[in-house]
Amino acid sequence: MRYMLLLYGDETEDSDMTPEQWDTIIAAHNAFGAEARERGLNPTGEALQPTATASTVSFDNGRPAMATNGPFAETKEQLGGFYLLDCKDLDEALEMARKLPLRNGAVEVRPVIEFG
């Protein structure tokens, strides 16, 4: 079963990181991806630009109503990226989520609906 691991954190905490700190985080994510590949979990994922670069399209009764700049809701933690893994079960997905190199924040683990 595929699971989406959604990475949430306070994006303002990243603004003061040094290039060396960024390199350390990138290396840790690369190691996570390498382990996922070695385990046959077929990982895919991406990091997202800050919420200031986002646009939101809202809908009303099935019709696009308007587009606005920024995220739909203001929260303390923002979606910063995701991984999609093909895990044998929820326990394996949670195990992998616990290995993610986050300083603060949370990882939402959600099963993907398989259509057809």
Write the CATH number for 29: 3.30.70.1060
Mean pLDDT of 72-84: 83
Distances in whole angstroms, Cα of residue 114 to Cα of each of 2, 6, 26, 40:
8, 18, 30, 19
Is 35 domain-assigned? yes
Higher per-residue pLDDT: 104 or 2: 2
Average pLDDT, the chain: 92
Residue at 63 is within a domain: yes
Share of the chain above pLDDT 90, in %: 66
Residue 87 has pLDDT above 90, yes or no: yes
pTM as predicted: 0.88
Contact 61, 27 (CB under 8 A): no
In a domain, 99, yes or no: yes
Indicate the SS3 state at residue 67: strand
What confidence tier does 73 reach under pLDDT thresholds 50, 70, 90? low
Residue entry with tokens 């995220």:
71
Q: What is the pLDDT of residue 98?
A: 97
**Residue 72, pLDDT above cutoff 80:** no
* pLDDT (mean) for 71-75: 64
Q: How far apart are CA 116 and CA 114, in angstroms?
A: 7
How many separate domains does the chain show?
1
- The gap from C-alpha 104 to its chain's centroid, in whole angstroms, comes to 13
* Range(s) of the domain holding residue 44: 2-111
Is 116 a member of any domain? Answer: no
